[in-house]
Amino acid sequence: MSKHLNYIAGKWVRAKRGRTFENRNPADTRELIGSFPESGAEDVEAAVQAAAAAYDRWRLMPPPAKGEIIMRAGLLLKERKEKYARLMTREMGKVLKETRGDIQEAIDMAYYVAGEGRRLFGKTTTSELKNKFAMSVRMPIGICGLITPWNFPMAIPSWKIFPALICGNTMVFKPAEDTPLSAQLFVEVLAEAGLPPGVLNLVHGSAEAGAAIVRHPRIRLVSFTGSCEVGRIVAEQCGRALKRCSLEMGGKNAQIVMADADIDLAVEGALWGAFGTTGQRCTATSRIYVEKKIYPAFLREMTRRARRIKIGSGLKPASQMGPLINAAQRQRVHSYVQSGIEEGAELLCGGKPAKGAGLTHGFFYQPTIFAGVKPEMKIIREEIFGPVTCIAPVSSLEEAIAQVNNTSYGLSAALYSRDVNRAMRAIRDIESGITYINSPTIGAEVHLPFGGVKNTGNGHREASETALDIFSEWKSVFIDYSGRLQKAQIDVD
Question: What would the CATH number be for the domain defined by 253-437?
Answer: 3.40.309.10
Backbone angles phi, psi at 142, to 5 degrees: 135, -130
pLDDT digits (tens, 9 = 90+) for 221-260: 999 999 999 999 999 999 999 999 999 999 999 999 999 9
Q: Is 245 a catalytic residue?
A: no
Backbone angles phi, psi at 12, to 5 degrees: -90, 120
Helix boundaries (H) for 140-227: 155-166, 180-192, 207-215
pLDDT digits (tens, 9 = 90+) for 265-322: 999 999 999 999 999 999 999 999 999 999 999 999 999 999 999 999 999 999 999 9
User: CA–CA separation, 119 vs 106, rounded Å?
Assistant: 20
Report whether 69 contacts 195 (CB < 8 A). yes
Q: Is 248 a catalytic residue?
A: yes
pLDDT digits (tens, 9 = 90+) for 431-449: 999 999 999 999 999 999 9
Q: What SS3 class is residue 119?
A: coil
Give the Cβ contact number of residue 198 at 10 Å.
Answer: 22
Task: State yes or no: pLDDT of 86 exceeds 70.
Answer: yes
Task: State yes or no: pLDDT of 491 exceeds 90.
Answer: no
Share of the chain above pLDDT 90, in %: 98
Report whether 64 contacts 118 (CB < 8 A). yes
Report whether 6 contacts 12 (CB < 8 A). yes
Choose the catalytic residue: 282, 301, 383, 462: 282
pLDDT for 89: 98
CATH of 6-249+457-477, one of 3.40.50.720, 3.40.605.10, 2.40.110.10, 3.30.1600.10: 3.40.605.10
Task: State yes or no: pLDDT of 2 exceeds 90.
Answer: no
What are the residue boundaries of the structural domains of the chain, listed by start? Answer: 6-249+457-477, 253-437
**What angle in degrees, to the nearest 10, is found between the helix axes of 81-92 and 63-79?**
80
Sign, CA dihedral 337-320-279-314, equals positive
Report whether 362 contacts 321 (CB < 8 A). no
Q: What SS3 class is residue 462?
A: strand
Candidates 379, 227, 419, 365; CA nearest to 288 is: 379
| Cα-to-chain-centroid distance, residue 454 | 17
Choose the catalytic residue: 91, 248, 301, 462: 248
User: CA–CA separation, 285 vs 415, rounded Å?
Assistant: 12
Q: What SS3 class is residue 434?
A: strand
pLDDT digits (tens, 9 = 90+) for 320-334: 999 999 999 999 999
Q: How close are the terminal C-alpha atoms of the chain, in Å? A: 77
pLDDT for 288: 98
